[in-house]
């Protein structure tokens, strides 16, 4: 059986569409079989909510009187990048205050803006004939500025490593606090709800795909940075960090329910981003992957005490094992915990399902597919001649 995007959207408009979350679909396939489920279900919704460091926002402040060509900008004391036009800036989620405070950064500015709070803006400039002002200090909010949109270069990682620590010292990492001597293991994925694990080859996800982001409708803008297809597979799904998405969405339509600033002790700041991607059930092959469960999806366990990009996996474990609360390493029972919220991922998948059922969200055909082959290149120390 095959469907088209147009057929699915027509059913959405008529209110006849059958939508299920990736979690619900698993049970339907188990009880009815793959062929029957494919005939019955038009769209599968996914969700993820976790730390996405490669995130940030473009902002346009409008022109002052007299005008200023902003050379340096601080928002609540956090530097924003201004190598753009006169009053445009990009604030990165992980940027920190210049005073050395690790607990407040760009992610907090983004959350505060979405929450409607006033943000202190300070800017300096070198002054030109057409932009004579050399400094400005004021307050802004989402209501006072022009465009404000998230543009996140790398979100929704397709799988990620499980972190543990074999050393005698506690480690503080972007994977949280890792206790010594394999005292715990942390992971960060929604597993059977995670978008890129349910469409592992990105057959339906590409440039122009309409998504749920931060409580608003947004789009996949490009392949994400560190996009990688050259990873080992199991059950047709990558066993390592693989594909990623660059995404965009209007901050003025977002909610702090799905965008939250995070602080990792002795590491720094990140941004929790809620993303939901609809998967149109074009054929039985799409449904086969969309119905994979946590027991079918695996992640590598890495020892983060080895300070090298070339860590080898200690083993591979299923998300079912990870969510059970413990895994076994070298005959030892190791407690597990998730840095992403499965509860919020479920909320996002349900919310997206409801939006589609109520005709508020149409499925978009990608205007271009994401790369089928892309390798991840390391950064080596090279001479000019070697380059």
Active site residues: 130
* Contact in structure between 25 and 291 (CB atoms under 8 Å): yes
- Residue 118, classed as helix, strand or coil, is coil
With H, G, I as helix, E, B as strand and everything else as coil, classify residue 252: helix
Q: Is residue 259 a contact partner of residue 36, using CB atoms and an 8 Å limit?
A: no
CB-side neighbour CA atoms (13 Å) of 381: 0
Where does the chain have alpha helices with state H? 5-14, 22-32, 34-40, 106-114, 195-198, 284-290, 319-323, 342-357
The answer to whether residues 116 and 140 touch, using CB atoms and an 8 Å cutoff, is no
Helix 342-357 and helix 22-32, axial crossing angle in degrees, nearest 10: 80
Q: Is the bond preceding 66 in cis, omega lying within 30 degrees of 0? A: yes
Two tokens at 202? 């990105």
Contact 254, 150 (CB under 8 A): yes
Q: Hey, what are 68's tokens?
A: 């200023």
Closest of 240, 211, 237 to residue 316, by C-alpha: 240
């Amino acid at each position: 059986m095959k469907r088209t995007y147009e057929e699915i959207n027509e059913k959405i408009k008529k209110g006849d569409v059958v939508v299920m979350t990736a979690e619900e679909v698993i049970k339907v396939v188990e009880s009815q079989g793959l062929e029957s489920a494919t005939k019955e279900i038009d769209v599968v919704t996914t969700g993820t909510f976790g730390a996405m460091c490669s995130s940030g926002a473009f902002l346009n402040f409008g022109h002052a009187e007299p005008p200023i060509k902003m050379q340096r900008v601080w928002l609540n004391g956090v530097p924003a990048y201004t190598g753009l036009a006169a009053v445009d800036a990009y604030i990165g989620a992980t940027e920190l205050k210049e005073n050395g405070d690790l607990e407040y950064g760009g992610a907090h500015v983004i959350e505060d803006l979405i929450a409607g709070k006033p943000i202190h803006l300070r800017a300096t400039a070198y002054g030109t004939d057409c932009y004579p002002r050399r400094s400005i200090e004021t307050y802004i909010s989402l209501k006072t500025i022009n465009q404000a949109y998230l543009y996140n270069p790398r979100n929704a990682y397709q799988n990620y490593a499980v972190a543990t620590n074999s050393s005698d010292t506690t480690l503080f990492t972007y994977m949280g606090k890792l206790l010594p001597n394999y005292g715990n293991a942390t992971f960060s994925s929604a597993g059977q709800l995670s978008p890129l694990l349910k469409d592992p080859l990105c057959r339906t996800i590409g440039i122009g795909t309409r998504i749920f982001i931060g409580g608003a409708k947004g789009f996949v803008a490009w392949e994400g940075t560190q996009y990688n297809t050259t990873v080992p597979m199991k059950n047709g799904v990558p066993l390592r960090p693989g594909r990623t998405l660059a995404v965009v969405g209007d901050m003025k339509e977002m909610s702090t329910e799905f965008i939250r600033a995070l602080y990792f002790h002795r590491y720094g700041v990140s941004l929790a981003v809620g993303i939901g991607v609809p998967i149109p059930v074009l054929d039985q092959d799409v449904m086969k992957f969309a119905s994979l469960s946590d027991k079918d999806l695996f992640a590598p366990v890495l020892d983060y005490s080895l300070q090298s990009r070339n860590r080898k996996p200690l083993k591979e474990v299923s998300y079912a094992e990870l969510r059970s609360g413990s895994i076994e390493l070298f005959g030892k029972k190791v407690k597990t915990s998730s840095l992403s919220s499965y509860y919020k991922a479920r909320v996002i998948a349900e919310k997206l399902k409801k939006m589609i059922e109520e005709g508020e969200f149409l499925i978009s055909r990608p205007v271009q597919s994401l790369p089928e082959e892309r390798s991840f290149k390391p950064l080596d120390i090279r001479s000019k001649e070697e380059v």
